[in-house]
Structure 1
Amino acid sequence: MSGKYIVVFKDHVPQSEIDKYAGQVNSNGGQVEQRYDSVLKGFSATIPDQFLTQLQSLKSDTIDYIGTSTPPTFPPPITAPFSLARAPPGAHPIPAQRYAAPARGI
């Protein structure tokens, strides 16, 4: 069984070591999908459970954290009920002149 994870390494870990672990993910039946090297140092990958256990054992020295990677979920869109639709011109019951702005003199 495999799961999708984001693996973030500590700041002191060199890129060559991150590449080594990414290669091990691929050689153990996983697949590295995205690499991160600017704000975070790490990668997202599909990782088999047996290799995930090995990576989790490195959390104190090399790996900062391993988190599950799930796609974002959004609530369903809210649609306005029909009664809130714009009224056609001339359908408003209040006369416009009653609410006209006062004229300003100079």
Structure 2
Amino acid sequence: MPASTYIVTFNKDTPDEVIEQHAKETEAAGATIKHRYNSAMKGFSVEVPDDIVSALSFDSPHINFVEPDGEVTTQGKSLLKST
């Protein structure tokens, strides 16, 4: 079954209990928490089967953003050429 991975970040002042509740609700809907973020940002990465992604609700005043997870590179990396 195809799945997509997303990063869910919360506002810095969000209590840990609120984040834990969102994680539990997300897993109960059929998604899998892959990683939790507690240092530079608060949140988690989640793998969601494509057939249930529309059933998840991330509508909360505590959530800062939800975005697809993917590889990140710096612009300078693509400009450097070895000689």
TM-score (norm 2): 0.73
Q: Which is worse superposed, 19-28 or 65-74?
A: 65-74
Q: Any gaps of 5 or more consecutive residues in structure 1?
A: 81-106
Q: How does 1:1-106 map to 2 (within 5 A)?
A: 2-47=3-48, 48-49=52-53, 50-51=55-56, 54-55=57-58, 57-58=59-60, 61-72=61-72
Moved >4 Å (runs of 4+): 72-75
Identity %: 23
Q: Distance in 1 between matches of 2:71 and 2:27?
A: 22
User: Residue by residue, what CA displacement relative to the aligned partner does 1:74-95 show, whole Å, maximum 9, x if unpaired?
Assistant: 97xx887xxxxxxxxxxxxxxx
- The verdict on how the C-alpha distance between 1:79 and 1:13 changes in structure 2, with shifts beyond 3 A counting, is closer
Q: CA deviation at 1:2?
A: 4.2
How many residues align? The count is 73
Q: Specify the structure having the higher radius of gyration (Cα).
A: 1
TM-score (norm 1): 0.59
- The verdict on how the C-alpha distance between 1:71 and 1:12 changes in structure 2, with shifts beyond 3 A counting, is same
Q: Distance in 1 between matches of 2:3 and 2:16?
A: 25
> Tell me, what secondary structure is at the counterpart of 1:38?
coil
| RMSD (Å) for aligned C-alpha atoms | 2.0
Amino acid aligned to 2:5: K
Q: Any gaps of 5 or more consecutive residues in structure 2?
A: none
Which structure dedicates a bigger proportion of its chain to strand?
2
Q: CA deviation at 1:12?
A: 1.4
